[in-house]
């Protein structure tokens, strides 16, 4: 069981690193959402409240922005 939990952690890390390689913000958000969702599962196995809470927060943020992009058709980051 321990090895399976570690594999889940490594999958989350890999998805996070892959997200960081994306230049388009929508693709970054999708891959970081995947990474965060895997971290939620990993956090449950570790019984780590802070990991679960932060990962769920990232999931909510990414879903919100992806839905906003989809409605507006905007795939580019806004420059301030």
Closest CA to 37 of 17, 20, 62: 62
CA distances (Å), origin 49, targets 54, 55, 60: 9, 10, 16
Domain count, the chain: 1
35 part of a folded domain: yes
80 part of a folded domain: no
Range 57-65 average pLDDT: 96
Quote the pLDDT of residue 31: 96
Range 69-75 average pLDDT: 75
51 part of a folded domain: yes
Under 8 Å between Cβ of 42 and 79: no
Average pLDDT, whole number, for the chain? 91
* Residue 23: domain span: 2-72
Q: What would the pLDDT profile of 41-55 be if each residue is shown by its tens digit?
A: 999 999 999 999 999
Quickly state the pLDDT bin for 80 (edges 50, 70, 90).
very low
User: What is the CA 41 to chain-centroid distance, rounded?
Assistant: 12
More confident residue, 17 or 72: 17
Contacts of 51 (CB under 8 A, 6+ apart): 39, 42, 43
Per-residue tokens: 12 = 């989350």
């Amino acid at each position: 069981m321990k090895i399976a939990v570690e594999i889940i952690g490594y999958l989350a890390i890999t998805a996070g690193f892959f997200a960081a390689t994306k230049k388009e913000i929508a693709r970054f958000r999708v891959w970081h959402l995947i990474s965060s969702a895997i971290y939620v599962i990993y956090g449950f196995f570790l019984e780590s409240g802070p990991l679960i809470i932060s990962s769920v927060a990232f999931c909510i943020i990414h879903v919100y922005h992806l839905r906003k992009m989809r409605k507006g058709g905007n795939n580019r980051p806004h420059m301030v």
